[in-house]
Structures are given as C-alpha cells and as structure tokens.
Amino acid sequence: MAVGVDADGNPTLFGVPIKFLVCCLLVVQNGGAVLLMRSVRALPGEKEFVTQTAVIMQECLKACTCMAVMKCQQLSVSQAWGDTVETMKTSVPALLYLVQNNLQYVAVGLLDAPTYAVTYQTKVFWVAICSAVFLGRQIKNQQWFALMILMGGVCAVQYQPSTGGKDDASQSVAMRATGVCMLLGAALCSSLAAVSFEKLLKGSNVDMWTRNLQLAFFSIICSAVPLLLSSDGSRILEVGFFHGYTPLTWTCIAMNAWGGLLVGAVIKYADAILKDISIGASICVSAGGSVFLFNAEITWNLVIGIVFVSWAVPLYAGRASLGLFSMAPPPETKAYKPVAQTEVVVMGKEGPHTVSDE
Ligand code: C5P
C-alpha cells in the first residue's frame, strides 16, 4: 500500500512520513518561487500588471484546485458553506493574512533591506510562542536554541550591508521605529494566522481542502474590496484586469497558489513551527541558487548563514547535538492533541456518507 502509518501513527507515503515529504517540498517550492520571482523582475516589461489582480487570480486558482480535489474525493463543494459557524472561523486566518500583507507593504517603504529582513525573521519565535500559548505545545530549551540559530542564519543569508546612500540618510529614527513596529506586527499576524489555521485543521473534523477553499474565498473578498476602492481599481477598469499578463506572470501565480496549498499541507501534516523552519531553509536554497543562476557573489555571511541553518534544522529535530551532529533520538515534545479524526460525515452527491479525514 502506498499510503500507510508509521510506528508513531504519522501518515506515510511509500514508507516515508508525509510530514517530512511536505516540508522538503516546501523548501524546494519556496526556494524555486523566489528564484522565479527574481528572474521575472529581471525581465523588462514584466511589472506592467497590477499586483493585486495577481493575488486575486492566485486565490481563484487555489479555490479551483481545492474544488477539483474535493470532486475527486466525492465531497460536495456546497458542504464547505453548510456550517456557518465553522465557515466563519476560517475568516480569522484570512483577516490575519490580510493585515499581515498590508503591514508588510507599508513597512517595506519605511525600512532599509537589512532591517526589514532581520525584523521579519523574528516570526520564527513568534510562531513558537503562539504554538506554546494557543496549542499548548511544549518546546524544549534545545529547540528554542535551534530557533535562535536558525533566525541568525537566515538573517546572515539575507543581510546586505547598507550602502549609506541618500535613502538611508532620509529615513528618520521615527520612521524606522514605526516600520519596525509594523513589521513586528506583520510577523505576529503571520504566526497567529498559521497557528489559528493549525487549530482549525487539527481541532475539527473539517478536511484540509474544505478549509483551504474557505480560506481562498475569504482571501478573494479581502483582496477584491480594497482593490476596487483604490486608484488601482479605476486603472484596471481602464486597461483591463489582465493587462500586462505574460506566461511568466501566470507561472508565478500558479507557483504562489500551489505554494500556499503546500503551506496548508505542512501545517496539517507537520505544524506551524516546521512551516517557518522550512521557509527559513528555503531562503538558503534560493540564496545558493542565485549564486549559480545569477552569478551572485559568494559572501561570508552567505556561507556562515547556510552553515547555521544546516545546523539548526537537525538540532530542532533532535538529530544533532549542540556540538557535532549525532543521531540522538528526537526530543519528546508534547504534541498538540487533535480531535479524533477517523470518519467525517459529508454531503456527497449521493447524499450523506462517511469518509476518512486523510
Ligand atoms: O510569511 P508567511 O509564512 O506567513 O506566509 C505564508 C503564506 O502562505 C501566506 O501568503 C498565505 O497566504 C499562504 N497560505 C495559503 N494557504 C494556507 C496557508 C497559508 O495560501 N492554507
């Protein structure tokens, strides 16, 4: 059987734990997406489209993918809206992601690149704190230390010394302080969104595809309303919704949409902390890829950062010691205990029937 469970009760695919597979996929996908975005930005004329239209298309593609999978699983799409209270709960992460995006959007104009990169990386701590507070997850001292090393490594990889140019001088202390506060807020929103989505996935019997469909629906509303009210709204009425779209724009949209679904799968099969650890590792993959693809310079901070991250990941998993790598057994963590997810009654085409949640 391709699908099974291991000795710890974790679902497996061909004997490999699915949580391990989805984390590795996220590292590759996220790293690849960053490299793709970079190559798109490098092409002239690729920034003609209104960014917010791409966000909406991304959510539409996510919704279509979810509906296609639900159809294959013989789940009725309408059951996603059957229980109003459960459906409305998904608006919480959607709203948090909306606030996060807008805070990041403003903060990027107030901060220089190094401060931005370092401040946003604090999210790996926020997500651990939120997991401990809201999900009761116990994090060992060694794991806190691993998260600190990971954060240091990712910051080092992303660090580019300030040029000391006009832009740096024109940023007042007050502007920078406002930017830092906004970005800390964005990092907190990202963590709260991930943890609340984890709670929704593991704390109820609503399946992952239904939750993703609901999230995409709320995200479309959250993106479309501000777009219509902004100056970009009148611009797209003038030039058309798909103005400036090229095959590469569509590729980025697909990458982000399926990347988002992969984030959901990592949160379901692993957890919100491992999601941020995978994204941290993917930053090293994309930085390393830039060296090969775009002839980026190999700097000391890149090398040190990659070494730190390569140490932090097995250290968090309990597969490395504080000194050298060792195959010590993973530390026992008190996992978030989901509700029993054996069978769910769903409204299929042929009436109510039970399906397994996996
Ligand atoms: O920066 P952060 O790690 O919070 O980004 C996670 C991204 O994953 C967000 O852009 C969010 O929209 C996306 N996501 C998604 N579907 C999910 C969970 C997260 O598209 N189920």
Between CA 52 and CA 21 the distance in angstroms is 31
Ligand 1 centre and the CA of 261: distance in Å?
A: 8
The predicted model scores a pTM of 0.84
What amino acid is encoded at 235 in this protein? R
Q: Number of structural domains, the chain?
A: 1
Ligand 1 centre and the CA of 124: distance in Å?
A: 14
With beta carbons less than 8 A apart as the criterion, state whether 37 and 248 touch. no
What is residue 111's DSSP assignment?
S
Which residues contact ligand 1 via a Cβ below 6 A?
A: 97, 190, 197, 212, 215, 260, 263-264, 279
How would you write the pLDDT of the chain (358 residues) with one tens digit per residue? 588 888 888 889 888 999 999 999 999 998 888 888 777 666 655 567 888 898 899 999 999 999 999 999 998 889 888 889 999 999 999 999 989 988 987 888 888 877 888 888 899 999 999 999 999 999 999 999 999 999 999 999 887 766 555 455 556 888 889 999 999 999 999 999 999 999 999 998 899 999 999 999 999 998 898 888 888 888 898 999 999 898 888 988 999 899 999 999 999 999 999 999 999 999 998 888 888 888 888 889 899 999 999 999 999 988 877 665 554 555 555 555 555 433 333 333 334 343 333 3
Q: What is the span of the domain harbouring residue 337?
A: 3-356
Task: List the structure tokens of 53.
Answer: 């239209």
Ligand 1 centre and the CA of 213: distance in Å?
A: 13
Between CA 47 and CA 292 the distance in angstroms is 24
Tell me the C-alpha to C-alpha distance, in Å, between residue 10 and each of 15, 23, 197, 244, 309: 10, 14, 20, 45, 26
φ, ψ dihedrals at 211, nearest 5°: -60, -40
Ligand 1 centre and the CA of 323: distance in Å?
A: 34
* Residue closest to 112 by CA, chosen among 180, 39, 42, 34: 180
- Residue 68: HSE in the Cβ half-sphere, 13 Å Cα cutoff: 6
